[in-house]
């Protein structure tokens, strides 16, 4: 269903709502396109004219600084006009329906909506109702998906490791509430990763998570054994209902990544985190800042990946 909605009749990427269901060729095309945009960041004038005359609206119903900023930078580097809608004071907050808000913005000539929403499926809902010339990018919906974050993570891994088929990747922490983890798992399996592990206490794992094609570990030391990449996740306390953990201190004792624990992984293991990081909760500072950490690289790659997705969905580059 998602794939049908994302691709038009000619097989072109019209929306980007989820990684699930997209073929390996599309994931690699997005990364290849991002590769071509990396040089824009070091040009004297950090712009290309691909989306000149286009209007992009960042419609964020959840607070976000880094994701919204990188989407805004990506659109501006493509020369688009960008509107950031303050949902807290928008017509939606005054009682107008989401669909009426979208239609009013469409009437102003919008070409793309970048949507973040607390409800799973919000971006899909909007994509089903926009005009044929309008594209929708999912910037995170509920616990469901965060496809551009997953793609920038894959892009970062490819930069260092090249061949996914040789990789064992451990995703550690709050899998239950993480839309990022779900998108990463789909992307890693589509790209042919040798093994994807999820490492977490039972209370922070979705029911039947094995069906996503992962190996489950409840012990961090075992989960890190010979891993090529370890991705730490933020504890999403704002999404937790009830006490799922004894304490943050206990979580760090059992599942926090320290330098001593990292020695279980391969010597060239990458350390990743989609951010924002909580030092001393998910990861020790000595690891977050070590030579194997590519956390800041991930942030920088976010702009190139979002430029690629915007350019592909609006047909500014060959898809």
* pLDDT tens readout for residues 92-111: 766 778 888 899 999 999 99
Q: Find out whether 215 is annotated in a ligand binding site.
A: no
Rounded mean pLDDT of 60-73?
91
Mean pLDDT of 33-60: 95
**Cα 245 to Cα 52: distance, rounded to the nearest angstrom:** 49
Contact 231, 273 (CB under 8 A): yes
> Was 266 annotated as part of a binding site?
no
Tell whether residue 239 is among the known ligand binding residues: no
Residue pLDDT, tens place only, 180-236: 999 999 999 999 999 999 999 999 999 999 999 999 999 999 999 999 999 999 987
- Whether 149 has a binding-site annotation, put simply, is yes
The residue-averaged pLDDT of 168-181 equals 96
Q: What is the model's pLDDT at position 73?
A: 97
pLDDT at position 64: 84
* 70 pLDDT more than 80: yes
State the Cα–Cα distance between residues 93 and 197, nearest whole angstrom.
Answer: 41
The reply to whether 94 sits in an annotated binding site is yes
Band (246; pLDDT cuts 50, 70, 90): low
Bridge partners of residue 133, in order along the sequence = none
**Residue 66 among known ligand-binding residues:** yes
Return the minimum-mean-pLDDT range out of 71-80, 87-96, 140-149, 162-171: 87-96
Give the per-residue pLDDT at 101. Answer: 86
Model confidence over 73-97: pLDDT tens digits? 999 999 999 999 877 667 676 677 8
Q: Is the pLDDT of residue 139 over 90?
A: yes
* CB burial readout 15-32, b (16+ within 10 A) else e: bbbbbbbbeeebbebbbe
pTM: 0.93
Q: 211, exposed or middle or buried, with CB in 10 Å at 0-12, 13-18, 19+?
A: exposed
**116 is an annotated ligand-binding site residue:** yes
pLDDT over 90 (residue 283): yes
pLDDT at 1: 46
Average pLDDT, the chain: 92
Known binding residue 146? Answer is yes
Instruction: Compute CA distances 156 → 62, 228, 271, 273, whole Å.
Output: 26, 13, 11, 11
Rounded Cα gap, residues 231 and 251, in angstroms:
16
């Amino acid at each position: 269903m998602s794939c049908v909605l994302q691709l038009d009749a000619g097989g072109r990427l019209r929306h980007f709502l989820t990684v699930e269901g997209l073929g390996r060729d599309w994931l690699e095309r997005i990364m290849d396109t991002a590769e071509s945009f990396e040089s824009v960041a070091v040009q004297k004038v950090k712009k290309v004219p691909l989306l000149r005359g286009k209007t992009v609206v960042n419609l964020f119903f959840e607070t976000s600084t880094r994701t919204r900023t990188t989407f805004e930078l990506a659109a501006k580097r493509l020369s688009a006009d960008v509107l950031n809608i303050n949902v807290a004071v928008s017509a939606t907050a005054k009682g107008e329906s989401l669909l009426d808000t979208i239609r009013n913005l469409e009437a102003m000539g919008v070409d793309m909506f970048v949507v973040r929403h607390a409800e799973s499926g919000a971006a899909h809902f909007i994509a089903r109702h926009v005009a044929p010339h309008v594209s929708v990018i999912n910037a995170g919906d509920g616990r469901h998906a965060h496809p551009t974050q997953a793609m920038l993570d894959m892009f970062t891994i490819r930069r260092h490791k090249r061949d996914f088929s040789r990789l064992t990747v451990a995703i550690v922490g709050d899998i239950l509430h993480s839309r990022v983890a779900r998108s990463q798992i789909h992307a890693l399996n589509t790209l042919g990763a040798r093994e994807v592990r999820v490492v977490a206490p039972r209370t922070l794992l979705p029911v039947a998570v094995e069906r996503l094609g992962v190996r489950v570990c409840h012990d961090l030391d075992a989960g890190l054994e010979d891993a090529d990449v370890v991705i730490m996740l933020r504890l999403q306390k704002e999404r937790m209902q009830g006490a799922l953990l004894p304490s943050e201190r206990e979580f760090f004792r059992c599942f926090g990544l320290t330098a001593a624990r990292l020695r279980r992984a391969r010597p060239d293991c990458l350390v990743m985190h989609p951010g924002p990081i909580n030092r001393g909760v998910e990861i020790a500072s000595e690891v977050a800042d070590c030579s194997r950490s590519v956390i800041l690289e991930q942030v920088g790659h976010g702009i190139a990946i979002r430029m690629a997705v915007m350019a592909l969905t609006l047909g500014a580059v060959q898809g």
